[in-house]
Structure 1
Amino acid sequence: MSQKALVVETAKTPFVLKSVPIPKPGPGELLVKIMATGLNPVDHFVQAYDLLPNVKYPIILGCDAAGTVEELGEGVQGYTKGDRVFFVPDLGASSGGFQQYTAISVDHLAKIPSRISFEEAASLPLTFCTAVIPLLAANPVGAGLNPTFDPNVSFKGDSALVIGGSSSVGQYAIQLLKYVGYSEIITYASAKHSDYLKSIGATHVIDRTTVALSALPDTIKTVTSSPIKLVYVAFVQAPEIMEVGYSCLAHGGQMPTAHPAPTKPEDAEATGRKIYGVYASTRIEPNIEFGNLMWKNISKLLEDGVIKPNRIEHVPNGLAGIAGTLPRFEGGSAGINGMKLVLNPQETP
């Protein structure tokens, strides 16, 4: 049996839509019919610029996926055919979301609550991991805000800043800070997203279209008199964003980021400020232990409304719509407008 898949044959070459075999689930795996796939900047930058090291070609990209269980591999328990699941595919095994079926380990997925659609579920996996690992995981992986998902943890009275709050990652960072009880959650984002960002937990929105990045530290002082004990940097494409975020951080504070390897400022040790990067995979050490807990808890967080999926922009034409849509990430958050781009591979012509 064959399926349609979008393949990058060699580095920096165009996508090719082709027929490939439907995989057979191995021990501990599920075969999933993909009903929704989210698009991420990494998909574009790997295809266009060969961004990640040690990529093995040909590769099927796609880091966010949701669908229905079609077949169970040997030894799988707790799942049945027809279950709705969402997950981060294993790109190294060409099990990415840019295809109509994939095999996925049961260790790296969760069931979709009934109130959540496939498209909404596909907005979560990679971007949620990018926020939750550096925020909640224990030191030295992350800031250690709540490594066990204890509902009683509270940072009441503390203030936090999210730079890039309207991005997919930033939206999850805001919600996670609300989850752990921060009293003030300030975000630097476009004012047009203000009402939505406040609805998910932000207490103040500093308009990035009228307040220059360089003016952010002084502007924060007009918003709150409290020290900023935590800064999350969701938008990390420019070095100056990291520098400004760090300058907003109180001595002894923590700065988790969406950057895989942020530079440590010279005065970090002397001022007690800590910076965390993230490689948003629950398959690699040292993320595995926390990742297992995350997958066990994420469905309940969604079911209880603690975490709300991103708002969705549907990409038409299934896999055939990807190549023309991914270049929008060249414009950063301005090219996406606070939405998560999602498609249904089953709609591929």
Structure 2
Amino acid sequence: MSTSMRVMELVRFGGAEDAFAARELPRPTPGPGQVLVRVLATSVNPLDLQTRRGDYRDQVALPAVIGNDVSGVVVGTGPGADDFRPGDEVWYLAPVFVGQGTYAEFHVVDQALVARKPAGLSHAEAAGLALVGVTAWEALVERAGVKAGERVLVHGGAGGVGSAAIQVAHALGAEVVTTARAKDHGFVTGLGADTVIDFSAGDYVPQVRELGGVNVVLDTVGRDTLTRSPEVLADRGRVVSIVDTPEPQNLLAAWGVNATYHFLFVSPGRAKLEALDRLVDRGELRPDIGAVLPLGEIAEAHTLLEGGSAGEGRRRPRGKIAIAVQPELG
């Protein structure tokens, strides 16, 4: 058996075109409580783009293997890792900025972060759901505590986290309001959105106020969302932002509605994946996979996600871009 593996390594910060190089690295060995997973699929997220550009260069030393989503098969276990056996199909969100990432044929992870792959999802779909699904669950359930009958505003409903959040909020029994471009209205309505606002056609605040405001705002877009959220929040409303917005935000108005703000940098965990699995099993959650590219085209995948064009005249699809790490998924 080969002791090496193929990876796409980040070798320089900046544009996607010359940021990655194909390399052969030693296959990792699972330690105590860890499992070795043959990665069948991963995906590309905005976090990956920020990492590649150098936004987190203090946390990432080059050269580095980045990426955080995994769907694959257990091929080995370390001492004390008794939850899984070789051959088990699993999925997980790898810890951010900790150890080797997932643009690789094999990955080692603590078994406590791993769950069995939802039977109703392909490996590409599971990889496309891991980070965005866990983020949506943590934002709406663990931070905002969304309850049935509440009204939730999801900014950027057609995006990866936004599309997952609409489905999670709908499954929780909330009334879902979202912002999306006109071309995506049918898509987000199909996910469970009750009201869709075209953010490109005018100010969303008066339209949300006409509905009576919202109990929860999920910010996936940044800009002035934090400052303006008190304008649409009911008393004791909650705001959860997943955007590291560097611009100063004036939150003085939040006092007037007793608002609570949560700033979320997602953390992995088996319980969250199992909760998502239950939604998948009930038909209440499914990822939108817009394209599947091979691992060798990781630079093209980054270019597409940034809204540019890649090889063969490809343009950015709606939905997640999954990466087929193994040829059988290509």
Match of 1:119?
124
Q: What does residue 161 of structure 1 align with?
A: 153
**Equivalent in the alignment of 1:220:** 208
| Residue 132 of structure 1, aligned match among 125, 130, 137 | 137
Q: Which moved more, 1:295-304 or 1:103-112?
A: 295-304
Letter in 2 for 1:249: L
Post-superposition CA distance 1:10-54 (Å, at most 9, x none): 555721211001111111111111111110111122112243542
Please state if 1:248 is matched with 2:232.
yes
Counterpart in the other structure of 1:180: 172
Mind listing any 5+ residue stretches in structure 1 that lack a counterpart? 146-153, 283-290
**Partner residue of 1:208 out of 184, 199, 203:** 199
Check the 8 A contact 1:89/1:95 in 2, yes or no: no
Q: State the 1:69 CA deviation.
A: 1.0
Q: Matches of 1:272 and 1:35 in 2, distance apart?
A: 46
- 1:345 corresponds to which residue? 325
Contact 1:258/1:278 (<8 A) preserved: yes
Q: Alignment partner for residue 279 of structure 1, among 265, 268, 274?
A: 265
Partner residue in 2 for 1:57: 62
3-state SS, counterpart of residue 202 of structure 1: coil
CA offsets 1:215-267 (integer angstroms, 9 cap, x no match): 11112244x2x33111111222xx22433444222232111121247856023
Contact 1:163 1:245 in 2 (8 A): no
Contact 1:66/1:86 (8 A) holds in 2: yes
Distance 1:327 1:50, change over 3 A: same
Deviation, 1:55, is 2.1
What is the match of residue 143 of structure 1?
144
Please tell me whether the aligned partners of residues 312 and 339 of structure 1 are also in contact (alpha carbons under 8 angstroms): yes
Per mean C-alpha deviation after superposition, the further-off stretch among 271-280 and 192-201 is 192-201
Partner of 1:4: 6
Q: In angstroms, what is the RMSD of aligned CA positions?
A: 2.4
Larger strand fraction of residues: 2
Q: Measure, in 1, the Cα distance between the counterparts of 2:155 and 2:81.
A: 41
Residue number among 255, 260, 266 corresponding to 1:269 in the alignment = 255
1:324 pairs, out of 300, 303, 321, with: 300
Q: 1:7–1:94: structure 2 CA closer, same or farther, 3 Å change rule?
A: farther
Aligned to 2:25: 20
CA change 1:47–1:11 in 2 (3 A) is same
Residue equivalent to 1:190? 181
- Provide the residue aligned with 1:286 in structure 2: none
Deviation track 1:258-298 (CA, whole Å, cap 9, x = no partner) reads: 1247856023234201121111123xxxxxxxx45313433
Is contact 2:230-2:253 (8 Å) kept? no
Paired positions, count:
316
- Residue aligning to 2:285: 307
> Residues 336, 220 of structure 1: CA spacing in aligned structure 2 closer, same or farther, 3 A cutoff?
farther
The C-alpha deviation readout for 1:204-225, integer Å capped at 9, x for no partner, is 111234x22xx11112244x2x
The answer for the alignment partner of 2:49 in structure 1 is 44
- One-letter code of the match for 2:45? N
For residue 323 of structure 1, report the CA deviation from its aligned partner: 1.0
Q: Is the 8 A contact 1:251 1:273 kept in 2?
A: yes
The residue aligned with 1:287 is: none
* Residues 216 and 244, structure 1, Cα contact 8 Å, conserved in 2: no
What is the TM-score normalised by the length of structure 1? 0.83
What SS is found at the alignment partner of 1:253?
strand
Question: Unaligned regions of 5+ residues in structure 2, if any?
Answer: 309-314
Give the conservation status (yes or no) of the 8 Å contact 1:110–1:299: no
